[in-house]
């Protein structure tokens, strides 16, 4: 049986040469939000390594939407111009260039992970943060101001403008970050959204802002190009966001033009993570795919070629996105192809290295 992992996938007018995607992974390596040589080499090497899609890390749609002062951004034409060589190089390697658009909300103005994740004071480059409700993520994070309807409309506009800039530089996929405790997830989850107006309380109210973002981006993003959304499919906590709500949201997003749901989980409040083990989030991709009738991507501790292939063969997802495994081995797709007896598509510059040892 032919490998599904190396069978092309078509979404709208874009063809992915295989079903392996590089998940967006924050590098916390920017100055003023601008991409650098680090990003070109980091992302370019994964394209050379054979992935079908290479997704740029969470890119803030405004300066206030960053997680840390070292985050990547796409809130101006200058930021887009810094990303343009990356999109071009990724496409030249036969991979689909993609970008994740994001706003951190109450998780913004914090230190980079290796410094400890405390709030960054204004004198060190920090900024005021806003969220659906004036509730901090934890005692070490900034206390956010509650967003007004005008603030919400500005964020919607910022996402749409970021999508337009992404297209102008050659990105072929935009993903909206609605998981991991960032702003759109903060609206979705009852654990973070304590509003009593049109944007909080009922399910319909809590999904209002995220659906406004989807509609605005779909209008700004070319119809021939696919739109992805990353969801935290569950908060893992009673009274929080759950898979049933994710299924219903996915149905509504599909009606607005979303093509694929990237299924992660957790991180809305401290301790809201599941028990991490190989494939622990795959059932979310499976359920959303079946019940919402939408393409999905599976993520989370997918490390082996046979594991990724089995997910696709069982019909649990349409793509697999790898993160840490591709940090360990940028050439994982080439090795996986050899292990599954598929044509790897090695760069011609590397053909002298191709041998049976590629399977090891």
Active site residues: 182
CB count in 10 Å sphere of residue 186: 29
End-to-end CA, the chain: 22
Reduce the DSSP state of residue 77 to 3 states and report it: helix
Among residues 234, 217, 223, 209, the alpha carbon closest in space to that of 175 is found at: 217
Distance CA 134, CA 34 (A): 30
CB atoms within 10 A of CB 307: 16
Look at residues 141, 238, 253 and name the one whose alpha carbon lies nearest to residue 190. 238
Which stretches of the chain are assigned E, i.e. beta strand? 9-11, 14-16, 20-22, 53-60, 96-102, 130-131, 145-146, 173-178, 227-232, 260-264, 295-299, 319-322
Contact 176, 213 (CB under 8 A): yes
Give SS3 for 16.
Answer: strand
- Specify whether the CB–CB gap between 319 and 19 falls below 8 A: yes
Q: Is 151 helix (H, G, I), strand (E, B) or coil?
A: helix
| Collapsed DSSP state (helix, strand, coil) of residue 263 | strand
What is the spatial distance between Cα 96 and Cα 110, in angstroms, rounded to a whole number?
Answer: 31
- Indicate the SS3 state at residue 34: strand
Contact between 321 and 21 under an 8 Å Cβ cutoff? The reply is yes
Give the rounded distance of the alpha carbon of 13 from its chain centre.
Answer: 20
Distance CA 236, CA 246 (A): 13
């Amino acid at each position: 049986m032919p490998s599904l992992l190396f069978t092309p996938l078509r979404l709208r007018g874009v063809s992915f040469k295989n079903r392996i995607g590089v998940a967006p992974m924050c590098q916390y390596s920017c100055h003023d939000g601008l991409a650098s040589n680090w990003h070109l080499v980091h992302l370019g090497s994964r394209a050379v390594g054979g992935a079908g899609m290479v997704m740029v890390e969470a890119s803030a749609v405004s300066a206030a939407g960053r997680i840390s002062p070292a985050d990547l951004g796409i809130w101006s034409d200058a930021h887009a111009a810094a990303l343009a060589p990356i999109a071009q190089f990724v496409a030249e390697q036969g991979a689909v260039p993609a970008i994740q658009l994001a706003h951190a909300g109450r998780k913004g103005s914090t230190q980079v992970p290796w410094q400890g994740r405390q709030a960054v004071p204004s004198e060190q480059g920090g900024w005021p943060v806003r969220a659906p409700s004036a509730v901090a993520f934890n005692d070490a994070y900034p206390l956010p101001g509650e967003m007004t309807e005008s603030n919400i409309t500005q964020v919607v506009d910022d996402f749409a403008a970021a999508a337009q800039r992404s297209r102008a530089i050659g990105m072929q996929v935009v993903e909206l970050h609605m998981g991991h405790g960032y702003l759109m997830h903060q609206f979705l989850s009852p654990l973070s959204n304590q509003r009593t107006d049109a944007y909080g309380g009922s399910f319909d109210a809590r999904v209002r802002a995220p659906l406004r973002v989807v509609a605005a981006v779909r209008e700004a993003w070319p119809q021939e190009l696919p739109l992805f959304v990353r969801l935290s499919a569950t908060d893992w906590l009673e009274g929080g966001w759950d898979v049933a709500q994710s299924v219903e949201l996915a149905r509504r997003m599909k009606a607005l033009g979303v093509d694929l749901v990237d299924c992660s989980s957790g991180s809305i409040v401290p301790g809201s993570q599941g028990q991490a083990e190989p494939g622990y989030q795959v059932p979310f991709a499976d359920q959303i795919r079946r019940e919402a009738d939408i393409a999905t991507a599976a993520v989370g501790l997918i490390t082996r070629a046979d594991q990724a292939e089995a997910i696709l063969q069982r019909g649990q997802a349409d793509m697999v996105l790898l993160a840490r495994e591709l940090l360990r081995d940028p050439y994982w797709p080439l090795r996986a192809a050899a292990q599954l007896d598929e044509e790897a598509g090695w760069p011609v510059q590397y053909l002298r290295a191709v041998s049976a040892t590629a399977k090891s």
